Homo-oligomer: A and B are copies of this chain.
Amino acid sequence: MAEPLTFYFDFSSPYGYLAAQRIDEIAARHGRNVVWKPYLLGVAFKETGGQPLLEIPVKGDYARHDIERSARQIGVPLVWPQAFPFSGVSASRAYYWLAERDEGAAKALARKLYRAAFGEGRDIAGPEAVATVAAELGHDKDDVRTALKDPAVKERLRREVDDAIQAGAFGSPYILVDGEPFWGHDRLDHIDKWLETGGW
């Protein structure tokens, strides 16, 4: 099987949420897998001088409108979380903790967390909120709580964030296809075409 795609995203990113609904299906059409890599946009922003999109005057209002329109376009529910933007640290740690043992289960948790945050407007920021969502998938709450405090898990996330930034990630979603970078949910159709044609 050809190289998997790498899907970098921040759990607090609505465009990442939208991309998460479609990326595996697009890749699968072309016989590709996708490796999911949650990271922390806030760290990347230190390099690029970026700031949370919806907080930017004028542009933020447009982005909110565009995100809602994009969700309608692809038929995905969108409910804004009350606290937004929120920290994706706990969600990301839970993902990598689970991914070490079972990548499929980790992806399922990521999808569930994203759906809780942007499909239902729930809080997924803190360890307790993440443990609650994980429990709905049958994970043991105490295991999750313990994992989120584990220095090895924390270190894993730090390393993944460094690796993501090393790989050029500066936004969410940021997707690598055979080394070719694509930034933004609006590039998913281009990725589909790229995989179909071998690029241009």
Contact = CB atoms under 8 A, between A and B. Distances in A.
A181 B69 CA distance: 11
Interface string A39-64: 00000100111110000111101100
Given A200-B72, A200-B73, A56 B49 contact: yes
A186 interface: yes
Given A44-B58, A50-B56, A73-B200, 20 more contacts: A47-B57, A48-B56, A48-B59, A49-B51, A49-B56, A49-B57, A58-B168, A59-B170, A59-B171, A62-B168, A62-B170, A62-B181, A62-B183, A65-B181, A69-B200, A73-B190, A73-B193, A184-B186, A186-B186, A189-B189
Nearest to A184: B186
A94 to B, nearest CB: 27
User: Chain copies in the assembly?
Assistant: 2
Contacts of A62: 168, 170, 181, 183
A3 interface: no
Interface of A: 44, 47-51, 56-59, 61-62, 65-66, 69, 72-73, 168, 170-171, 181, 183-184, 186-187, 189-190, 193, 200
Contacts of A186: 184, 186-187
Contacts of A69: 200
A47 B57 CA distance: 7
A181 B63 CA distance: 10
Nearest to A193: B73
